Structure 1
Amino acid sequence: MGLAGFLLVLVASLGAQAEPPSSTLLPGRKPDSREPWGAFLGRAAHEAIGIEYTLQHPSSIVFLDTASLSTIVKEGKLGDPERLSEFVRLLRPDITDTRLLVLFEIKPNDEESRREGRGQVGRYLAALNEAVTPDKKLVGGTGFEGSLFLEFENGGALWQLSWHTPEPGLTLYRWSYRRKKPNASWKERAAQKAEELPRVEIAQRGELAEQAIRAAYGRGEWPKEFQGQVYLPVDCR
């Protein structure tokens, strides 16, 4: 699905509570921002996971969540986009690989999101497979997983974004947190017990985290407020 569709689910998965009253004044957040405080992490997760898939499959033609089913069928040379009904042709799966003939839907790791994602995967596959040629039927992808870390200051707390694909086509992600440990390397801190990401941290640094991840993948400028490091999956192996 597109970015707009998952934001409400994301906020629910992070607690579905009101935004902290002073969040618009917190450092790392634009003073005039009206974004839901958890939306930045949802966008960051979708973008990072999508980019990682393309990096892991450099010989594939990969469509991310800006491409509709109609575009995927036409530009992926899968079949006849006119066979898609008007009710489904504008739907946008999160990741579609037209070489390996697989797709993935990205969701937060909670039961409600899992059920929603499972239904979406089924609808996308049913619609696509009505329009593609018999030798290009798609299935839900498997075996896709990864992890990255954000360090906001030397020796400070670490944020982790991790994802896995527990069932065909459904990739689930989770944000977690490691406590500060001065004079410890990021890998030593990463080895600590994972905790839920504190809500105050999300409100304060969610927007900054999104910007830093985009910059780490070469999709934007490094925010001047960010003085730390982003450790991508290639660094975590």
Structure 2
Amino acid sequence: MKNSGSRTRSTLGLAGFLLVLVAAFVAQAEPPSFKLPGRKPDSKEPWGAFLGKAAHEAIGMEYRVQHPTNAVFLDPVNLYDIVEEGRLGDPERLSALVRLLRPDITDTDALVLFEIKPDNEEGRKEGREQAGRYLAALNEAVEPGKKLAGGTGFEGSLFLEFENGGALWQLSWRTPEPGVTLYRWSYRRKKPHASWKGRAAQKAEELPREEIEQRGELAEQAIRGAYEGGKRPKGFHGQVYLPVDCR
């Protein structure tokens, strides 16, 4: 019995050691997201989440630019406040489970809603499910004649040029089905002394991780500054070409 107990403890100890070893290996294999500019030193936010935040901000601000007289609510405004401030109905009719949900874009004048997701099948499916959930909850609380639907026809593209002929990033988005807006980041190789439009016509490539790590903070700040009319962030020597410039 003693030998059996010793073998059991040895087996459990070996299993524990292997689990720790595997966990350490996986941790080393993960991208160094904590090194992203603008992140706190202890942040573990993944690459995709960082670019997703910048995309959400840009797409939401662009919708407001295109609908300047409409009441447009962006995340983090929740369903309760949307119903109340948008004068859609009685927010108390929203259940406690849904009133704190936060759609990405809600236009209470046009009575449409959009969910923003990465441009892939998983993102499209998730966007469809979330938009449907938000619409169902909202339409239970709004007055007759103020029912909301998934928005359509919202698409666009913007570019970031980091220096003359240098790195060129593109953020593009489309709405392939009601209420689901899908975004994609892409990259154009350096081509000194070429115009940004000339480089924009080059073949689009996947945005390299080293570009994200080097310029991620500048990209987010530069886009926000371009929409809000603020100063260029320190270290940004290029231009932001908004959708109005791309037409």
2:43 to 34, 40, 43: 34
Q: Measured at CA, do residues 35 and 187 of structure 1 come closer, stay the same or move farther in structure 2, by a change above 3 Å? A: farther
SS in 1 for 2:116: strand
Q: How many Å apart are 1:29 and its aligned residue?
A: 5.4
1:201 and 2:211 correspond: yes
Q: Measured at CA, do residues 36 and 203 of structure 1 come closer, stay the same or move farther in structure 2, by a change above 3 Å? A: farther
Aligned to 2:31: 19
Aligned to 1:129: 139
Unpaired runs of 5+ residues, structure 2, are: 1-28
Q: For the residues of structure 2 that align with 1:103 and 1:196, how far apart are their CA atoms?
A: 29
Larger Rg: 2
Moved more, 150-159 or 201-210: 201-210
Q: How many Å apart are 1:35 and its aligned residue?
A: 5.5
Q: For the residues of structure 1 that align with 2:220 and 2:166, how far apart are their CA atoms?
A: 18
Aligned to 2:154: 144
Q: How many Å apart are 1:121 and its aligned residue?
A: 0.5
1:67 to 74, 77, 82: 77
Q: For the residues of structure 2 that align with 1:68 and 1:235, how far apart are their CA atoms?
A: 32
SS in 2 for 1:230: strand
- Regions of 4+ moved over 3 Å: 28-33
Aligned to 2:190: 180
Deviations 1:2-51 (A, max 9, x none): xxxxxxxxxxxxxxx72248x73x8x557847353523321111011001
Q: Measured at CA, do residues 169 and 32 of structure 1 come closer, stay the same or move farther in structure 2, by a change above 3 Å? A: same
Higher helix share: 2
Letter in 2 for 1:106: I
Aligned to 1:170: 180
Percent sequence identity over aligned pairs:
74
Q: For the residues of structure 1 that align with 2:59 and 2:44, how far apart are their CA atoms?
A: 21
Letter in 2 for 1:90: L
Aligned residues of 1:37 and 1:202 also touching (Cα < 8 A): no
Moved more, 29-38 or 128-137: 29-38
Deviations 1:95-133 (A, max 9, x none): 000111000000011111111111001100100000001
SS in 2 for 1:217: helix
1:104 to 84, 106, 114: 114
Aligned residues of 1:19 and 1:36 also touching (Cα < 8 A): no
Aligned-residue CA RMSD (Å): 1.9
Letter in 2 for 1:152: F
Letter in 2 for 1:34: S
Higher relative contact order (CA 8 A, sep 6+): 1
Q: Measured at CA, do residues 74 and 42 of structure 1 come closer, stay the same or move farther in structure 2, by a change above 3 Å? A: same
Alignment TM-score, normalising by the size of structure 2: 0.83
